[in-house]
Structure 1
Amino acid sequence: MRLIATDLDGTLLRPDLSVSARTRAALDTARSAGIHIVPVTARQPRGLRLIAEAAGFTEYALCGNGAYGIHLGTGELLFESHVSVAAQRALAEALAVRVPGVLFVSVREGGEVFVAQEGYAAITHFQDHKREPEGLGLHTLDDVLAAPSLKFIVRHATLTPRELLAELRALNLGGFAVTHSGAPFLEVLAEGVSKAWGLALLCERLGMRREEVLAFGDAPNDAEMLAWAGRGVAMGNAEPEAMEAADEVTLTNDEDGVAHVIERLMAQTSPR
């Protein structure tokens, strides 16, 4: 293995969103052996920065479910992909008719610009987007739809993401990809974009084959990445989609399941 790709929430991070001492030690051991450690997360860079120091992340990172690739140390933008205005407008207009009360957010400019529809602040919390609800502002739907989005968020006050996903799929629209990460909303991406898509681009840049990648995840948005990687590992607390896509299952995030696998890997590859 030359690269370890890991999801954060529900995977690398414990339930209290901390990086355990055991996990940090395992990551450092792998880094010392020349293995790239790459966070692959639904978070935008501002959310990743909250835990980057604790995890020792200073190099490559894939944010926004793979739509935004950056180097944390240099700030270099590797690639980005956006949901088109036409695609998000078609989705929003059709879904608003089918599901009254649905609300939308456009995440733009590297995740730094967050344009939330009026009413969204009342149903969100800081941990949802690493932003204080009172700072979201009041935007019309036209404002939200006015520019392409790195991530286009779809949310309802009472419907779960799975329920909302069924309603969206019933529209039979194209021009975008949609997933969810365990957060209380759907995450719409540019067509074809996923964590696997972003990881494949990074590996091509680094001259690595998918067989050289070890990946960890727990949620539906991790499924493509776990299936694509040479070795995909689902957490013991993973959703069914991640379990089905993975090659194996480790301990839960509360039990340091990522560290458990890395420790075994390093023990197998250490000189005797």
Structure 2
Amino acid sequence: MKYKLIALDIDGTLINSSHQITENVKQTIKKAKQKGVKIVLCTGRPLKGIESFLDELNLKEEGDYAATFNGALIQNTFNKDLISHLTLKYEDLVELFNLSEEIGSRSHFYDTKTLYTFNRDISDYTVLESHLTGIHLNVTTLEEVPKDIAMSKFMMIDHPEILDECIKKIPEKYYEKYTIVRSTPFFLEFLNSNANKGSGISLLAKELGLKQEEIICVGDAGNDRHMIEYAGLGVAMSNATKEIKEIADYITFSNNEDGVAHVINKFILEER
């Protein structure tokens, strides 16, 4: 099978524990792109939060794309044209914030360019998110939020043991109304019910005229599940969660062992 697109999660997949892309991974991606393979970063981060990686990998040329906010936003990185943006509304914000208060979790949320929180005692995890993504943090109130907000995602954020208990308290109806994914032990993300990394890559594949079996998706966490299930070849990192390893077609090396380079070498660069 000749693979024509590889979708790569970032945290825990593309970058190592030092938050860097190794030279080996960089060069392998460069060779795959030169061969005509689409390289698509697919992440829970906003576009601004991956600009440095796109620059580093030369993925802002004509015909380059990225999937951000866990697949809720798909766009061309060259001219910023949108393929798809599936959002949540003000009413969803009210409902999800009330839920977070009720079950005891702190929270924050995004539109396309800003990270917001209502918590005056700002969580360390909100500060971490703002730092990692380079996104401006706005401490606000529900009354100050525009009623026409197009929210890319809402996040419950807390220490893993607290979040574990909060998750147990979420009524089933919320799983029917939203896509809910746990991207890290301390982040639980709520998206438009039609938004996930799998549907995002599927929409992009349709736009590009690619078949499902021509696509590789690589990830490590709960928010990667949909795209790994969708892919012609679903790949889990060796540092992935047990759930992700169980659904993957192939398990590569860890993010600290150039696992992405191994996948590209094995399934794209080597003659198969």
Counterpart for residue 67 of structure 1: 72
Q: What is the alpha-carbon root mean square deviation over aligned residues?
A: 2.4
Counterpart for residue 188 of structure 1: 190
Does the CA-based 8 Å contact 2:48-2:133 persist in structure 1? Answer: no
Correspondence 1:46 to 2:51: no
Does the CA-based 8 Å contact 1:95-1:171 persist in structure 2? Answer: no
Find runs of 4+ consecutive structure 1 residues off by over 6 angstroms: none
Correspondence 1:77 to 2:82: yes
By how many angstroms is 1:175 displaced? Answer: 2.3
**Alignment partner for residue 104 of structure 1, among 97, 103, 107?**
107
By how many angstroms is 1:261 displaced? Answer: 1.5
Correspondence 1:233 to 2:235: yes
Change (3 A) 1:160 1:181: farther
Please give the alpha-carbon distance, in whole angstroms, between the structure 1 residues aligned to 2:222 and 2:100. 22
Please give the alpha-carbon distance, in whole angstroms, between the structure 2 residues aligned to 1:197 and 1:120. 35
Matches within 5 A, 1:1-272: 1-58=3-60, 59-97=64-102, 99-100=103-104, 102-108=105-111, 110=112, 112-119=113-120, 121-124=122-125, 126-130=127-131, 136-143=137-144, 146=147, 147-156=149-158, 159-168=161-170, 170=171, 172-173=173-174, 174-182=176-184, 184-269=186-271
SS at match of 1:124: helix
Please give the alpha-carbon distance, in whole angstroms, between the structure 1 residues aligned to 2:161 and 2:145. 21
Q: Percent identity?
A: 27
Q: Deviations over 1:2-47 (max 9, x none)?
A: 0011101100111111111100111011111110000000010111
By how many angstroms is 1:94 displaced? Answer: 3.5
By how many angstroms is 1:131 displaced? Answer: 6.4
Change (3 A) 1:160 1:34: farther
Please give the alpha-carbon distance, in whole angstroms, between the structure 1 residues aligned to 2:99 and 2:267. 49
Which residue identity is paired with 2:106? Answer: L
**Number of residue pairs the alignment of both structures matches:** 265
Any stretches of 5+ residues in structure 1 without a counterpart? none
SS at match of 2:238: coil
Change (3 A) 1:239 1:158: closer
Which residue identity is paired with 2:98? Answer: E
Change (3 A) 1:143 1:224: same
TM-score calculated relative to the size of structure 2: 0.88
By how many angstroms is 1:72 displaced? Answer: 1.2
By how many angstroms is 1:193 displaced? Answer: 1.1
Q: Deviations over 1:25-83 (max 9, x none)?
A: 11011111110000000010111113222223221000000001111111212210111
Change (3 A) 1:52 1:196: same
